[in-house]
Structure 1
Amino acid sequence: MSTLDVAAGAIRRDETVGIVLLLAFAGGYIDAYTWIIHGVMANAQNANLIFLWLYGMAGNWAKALQFVPPILAFAIGIVIAAWLRRVAGERASAISTLIEILLLVAIGILHNRLPDLAGTLGISVVAAMQATMFIKVEGTVCSTVMITGNMRQAIENVFAVAAGSAPLGTLRRSGIFFALCAVFGFGAAAGAFAAKNIPDLALGLPVVALLIVLLRCEASRSEDRR
């Protein structure tokens, strides 16, 4: 795959800070949207699993079973993304992003006709594909669909700097991870606002964010060919 040269080494174009921040915004947005509209989480399958067993152990299996479809859909999204990596190579991230955009557009169209099917299944597939395809920022493992690991790395890097044992660039990496957490939260706030006030149009904003990701990846590819 073509690469971009940076001081710390070569990084993939889909691991640049700008692209990963856009994805984090989309990740927080669709998780908040799915929780408000459908009562399940698109990204945080640990939460869905906890709710499944909380309601199950309380004997409310009708409520518990509503958390099963997004878990299964998330698994399907992972399989699709893994298959794309195998068959599409360096084009996998762009193709995955295009599929995510098309799915979100379809979900937005079907929102009024098939709200539960479109939301709990389609959006979890989108989240899983993003979680599987975009896993690093500048060569360091990160997540664009949840903040736990990002927060841990941000705090660990700050501690390393304070302890005087940090290599060059550690403070910058910490800033990137803090930014990922903040942008994810901002996306969640935007998603919550849109879901409550303009539910029929709410998925337009993450579509725009993903479209920018796709265009930036393809623009970088065109520059690399010159």
Structure 2
Amino acid sequence: MSSLDISAGSSIRRDETVLIVLLLAFAGGYIDAYTWIIHGVMANAQTANLIFLWVYAMAGDWARALHFIPPILAFAVGIVTAAWLRRVAGERASAISTLVEILLLIGVGILHNRLPDLAGTLGISFVAAMQASVFTKVEGAVCSTVMITGNMRQAIEAAFTSATGDAPGGALRRAGILVALCAVFGFGAAVGAFATKNIPDLALGIPVIALLVVLLRCEAGRSEVRA
């Protein structure tokens, strides 16, 4: 069955529901805005970090170029950790990774004024990578909660195939969900920028609340399955 051939009535994993991926997209955009304002790097968009690395390196500004290496490395470690977690925890990986993300964000938030930029960047990029690796689908179809490029491409393709009449069932709904993901990611970035500039010491509390809802929803889903 095509990844687009998904209806609202299908059996859907709790960690792949629209509500959860929208909450994660909000947190993803928020955290990227936070790390850019506070640390001058991107938590999720390693493409941007890599570009800045080589732009400054080619200009001979090695001090600024090397600034972008730690988040890239932390992201890589987060990917490996998430892969290991999926292997050992199975379906519980989503809840465990969300809990780890919450705890690390709380730690970075509490130590905001004491942590060096490097430590804060490493922690946030690490948890961003775990989210990117563990939450990869919405209603059974591939998506991203930490960047919009792929979502935008898929949304446009799905809308085009729907308009031309060649789309499988559920393509228009899929396009709508992906557009919503992009919009919520942008909204999260806007809220993150505002909060980081106005309440920097408390700013990370907002994505933590969103992630707490994700954690509770994941665990509620497990309880319903056991019942």
Q: Shared fold (TM-score greater than 0.5)?
A: yes
For 1:200, the equivalent position in structure 2 comes to 201
**Corresponding residue for residue 32 of structure 1:** 33
Offset, 1:151: 0.4
Q: Report if the CA contact (8 A) 2:28-2:185 is conserved.
A: yes
Q: How many residues align?
A: 222
Whole-angstrom CA distance in 2 between matches of 1:37 and 1:7 = 40
Q: Which digits, 9 at most, give the CA deviation of each residue in 1:119-151, with x for residues without a partner?
A: 210000010000000000001100000000000
- Alignment match, 2:3: none
Tell me by how many angstroms 1:80 deviates.
0.9
Does the 8 Å contact 2:155/2:176 carry over to 1?
A: yes
Aligned to 2:141: 140
Partner of 1:125: 126
SS in 2 for 1:47: helix
Hey, what does 2:62 align to over in structure 1?
Answer: 61
Instruction: Quote the residue 1:87 is aligned against.
Output: 88
CA distance in 1, matches of 2:200, 2:154: 35
TM-score calculated relative to the size of structure 1: 0.96
CA contact (8 A) 1:93 1:133 kept: yes
Alpha-carbon offset, residue 117 of structure 1? 2.8
Q: Which SS does the other structure have where 1:146 is aligned?
A: coil
Secondary structure (helix, strand or coil) at the match of 1:10 reads coil
SS at match of 1:11: coil
Write the letter of the residue equivalent to 1:172. Answer: R
Aligned to 1:98: 99
**1:6–1:153 distance in 2 versus 1, CA, 3 Å:** closer
**Deviant stretches of 4+, over 4 Å:** 5-8
Structure 1: how far apart are the matches of 2:203 and 2:149?
26
Post-superposition Cα deviations, 1:93-113, rounded to whole Å, max 9, x if no partner, equal 100000000000000011101
TM-fit CA distance, 1:220? 1.2
Q: Does 1:48 align with 2:49?
A: yes
Contact 1:110 1:118 (C-alpha < 8 Å) held by counterparts: no
List per-residue Cα deviations over 1:143-186 (Å, max 9, x = no partner).
00000000011111110111011122111110000000000000
**Native 8 Å contact 1:135 1:143 kept in 2:** yes
Cα RMSD for the two superposed structures: 1.3
Partner of 1:21: 22
- Amino acid corresponding to residue 127 of structure 2 in structure 1: V
Distance 2:199 2:119 in 1: 17
Deviation of 1:7 after TM superposition, in Å, equals: 5.3
Q: Distance in 1 between matches of 2:220 and 2:13?
A: 13
Contact conserved, 2:7 with 2:170, CA < 8 A, in 1?
A: no
2-structure distance, mates of 1:184, 1:120: 20
Question: What corresponds to 2:74 in structure 1?
Answer: 73
Give the partner amino acid of 1:154. Answer: A
Q: Distance between the aligned counterparts of 2:8 and 2:82, measured in 1?
A: 30
* In the alignment, structure 1 residue 114 sits paired with structure 2 residue 115: yes
**1-structure distance, mates of 2:35, 2:116:** 11
Q: CA deviation at 1:115?
A: 3.6
Moved more, 117-126 or 35-44: 117-126
TM-score scaled by length of structure 2: 0.95
Amino acid paired to 1:128: A
Quote the offset at 1:6 in angstroms. Answer: 6.4
Deviation at 1:9, TM superposition (A): 3.8
Q: How does 1:5-20 map to 2 (within 5 A)?
A: 9-20=10-21
Alignment check: 8 A CA contact 2:81 2:130 kept: yes
